Structure 1
Amino acid sequence: MEKIKVLLVEDDLVDQMAFKRLVKEEKLPYDYKIAGSASAAIKILQEEKFDIVITDYNLGDGTAFDIFDYIIDTPFIFITGGGDEELAVKALKAGAFHYQIKDQLRNYLKVLPSTIEKALKHKKTENEKKKAQEELRQNKERLDIILHSIGDGVIVINEKQEIMIINKKAQELLGFDGELTMSDNLHKALRNCRENGKVLIDAINQNEFSKLELEVDFPLPRVLSVTGTTFLDVDGKSAGKVFILRDVTKEKEIDRMKTDFVSSVSHELRTPLTSILGFSTTILKRRDIPEKTKYEFIEIIQKESKRLSRLIEDVLSISKIESGKITYDFRRISLKSIIEDVYEIYSPQAEKKKLKMILDVEENVPEIIGDRDALHQVVVNFVGNAIKFTPEGGTVTLGLRQENESVVLMIKDTGMGIPEKDQARIFDKFYRVYRPGTQIQGTGLGLSIVKEIIEKHKGRIELFSKVGKGTTFNIFFPKDADLGEEEQSKTELSN
Structure 2
Amino acid sequence: MILRSRLFVRLFLAIFGLVTVATIATAVFAHAWRESPDLSSQLVQWVVVVWVVAAVAAALVVRSVVVPLAELTRAARAIESGDYGDRVPVRSDDDVGDLARSLNQISGELGERLSQLRERDERQAAVLGGMSEGVVAVDRTQRVLFANTAAGKMFGFLPPSAVERPLLEVIREHTLQEAVAEVLRTRKPKRIEMAWQLDAPRVLAVQITPLPRSVDVGAVIVLHDNTELRRLETIRQEFIANVSHELKTPLSSIMAYTETLQDGAVNDHTIRDQFLQRIAEQGARLNALIQDMLSLARIETAQQPFEIVPLEVGPVIHRSMDDYAQHAEAKSIELKIEGDEPVLRASADEEGLRTICNNLIDNAVKYTPEGGRVVVSWRREADTVRIEVADNGPGIPRSDVSRVFERFYRVDKARSRELGSTGLGLSIVKHLVQSFAGQVGVESQPGQGCRFWVELPAAE
TM-score (norm 2): 0.67
1:404, distance to aligned residue in structure 2 (A): 6.2
- The aligned counterpart of 1:300 is 278
1:283 shift after superposition: 4.3
Residue 310 to residue 92, structure 1, CA distance change in 2 (3 Å):
closer
Aligned equivalent of 1:273, options 231, 237, 251: 251
Query: Do residues 76 (structure 1) and 71 (structure 2) align?
Result: yes
Query: Using the alignment, how far apart are the partners of 1:215 and 1:187 within structure 2?
Result: 16
User: In the TM superposition, what is the alpha-carbon distance from 1:253 to its structure 2 partner?
Assistant: 0.6
1:261-340 matches, within 5 Å, as: 261-284=239-262, 285-287=264-266, 289=268, 291=270, 294-328=272-306, 334-340=315-321
Count of residue correspondences: 389
Q: How does 1:26-175 map to 2 (within 5 A)?
A: 54=67, 76=71, 114-115=95-96, 117-118=98-99, 121-175=102-156
Relative to structure 1, is the Cα distance of residues 153 and 280 closer, same or farther in structure 2, using a 3 angstrom cutoff? same
Aligned to 1:476: 455
Q: Would you tell me which structure has more strand in proportion to its own residues?
A: 1
Alignment of 1:80-479 (within 5 A): 114-115=95-96, 117-118=98-99, 121-178=102-159, 181-191=162-172, 193=173, 195=175, 198=178, 202=182, 205=185, 209-234=189-214, 239-284=217-262, 285-287=264-266, 289=268, 291=270, 294-328=272-306, 334-344=315-325, 346-347=327-328, 351=332, 357-360=335-338, 362-366=340-344, 371-387=349-365, 395-402=373-380, 407-414=385-392, 415-417=394-396, 419=398, 423=402, 427=405, 430=407, 432=409, 445-456=424-435, 458=436, 460-468=438-446, 469-478=448-457
| Contact 1:200/1:212 (8 A) holds in 2 | no
Cα distance in structure 1, aligned partners of 2:397 and 2:55: 98
Give, as a single letter, the amino acid of the residue that structure 2 aligns with 1:233: R
| Partner deviation per Cα, 1:431-468 (whole Å, 9 max, x = no partner) | 847x5998998776443432332344x35224242452
CA contact (8 A) 2:183 2:189 kept: yes
Q: Deviations over 1:132-155 (max 9, x none)?
A: 334333322222222111211112
User: Whole-Å Cα distance in 1 between the matches of residues 408 and 237 of structure 2?
Assistant: 11
- Give the TM-score, by structure 1 length: 0.63
- Kindly provide the CA deviation profile for residues 96-149 of structure 1, in whole angstroms up to 9, marking residues without a partner as x: 99xxxxxxxxxxxxx995455545544543444344334333322222222111
Change (3 A) 1:262 1:369: same
SS at match of 1:416: coil
Structure 2 partner of 1:69: none
Contact 1:365/1:400 (<8 A) preserved: no
Q: Distance in 2 between matches of 1:301 and 1:94?
A: 97
How much does 1:267 deviate?
0.5
| Matched residue type, 2:231 | E
The separation in 2 between residues aligned to 1:177 and 1:438, in whole angstroms, is 51
Structure 1 pair 194/168, CA: closer, same or farther in 2 (3 Å)? Answer: same
The aligned amino acid for 1:135 is Q
Closer, same or farther: CA 212–21 of 1 in aligned 2, 3 Å: closer
Q: 1:209–1:228: 8 Å Cα contact kept in structure 2? A: yes
Q: CA shift at 1:386, angstroms?
A: 3.7
Q: CA RMSD in A?
A: 4.6
Which amino acid in structure 2 is aligned with residue 286 of structure 1? Answer: A
**Cα distance in structure 1, aligned partners of 2:227 and 2:413:** 28
Contact 2:144 2:164 (C-alpha < 8 Å) held by counterparts:
yes
| CA gap 1:16/1:325 in 2 versus in 1, 3 angstroms | farther
Shift of 1:377: 2.3
Change (3 A) 1:398 1:363: closer
Per-residue deviation, 1:251: 1.0
Give 1:159's aligned amino acid: R
**1:15-57 superposed Cα distances (whole Å, 9 cap, x missing partner):** 997798899xxxxxxxx9xxxxxxxxxxxxxxxxxxx9939xx
CA shift in 2, pair 1:406/1:302, >3 Å: farther
Give 2:352's aligned amino acid.
A
- Corresponding letter in the other structure for 2:257: F
Unaligned runs of 5+ in 2: 1-51, 81-91
Quick check: which has more Rg, 1 or 2?
2
Q: Which has the higher helix share?
A: 2
Letter in 2 for 1:267: H
- Equivalent residue for 1:4? none
Q: Secondary structure at the match of 1:215?
A: strand
Cα distance in 2 for partners of 1:372, 1:94 equals 80
Rounded to whole Å, the distance in 2 between the matches of 1:199 and 1:444 is 44
Q: Is the 8 A contact 2:146 2:159 kept in 1?
A: no
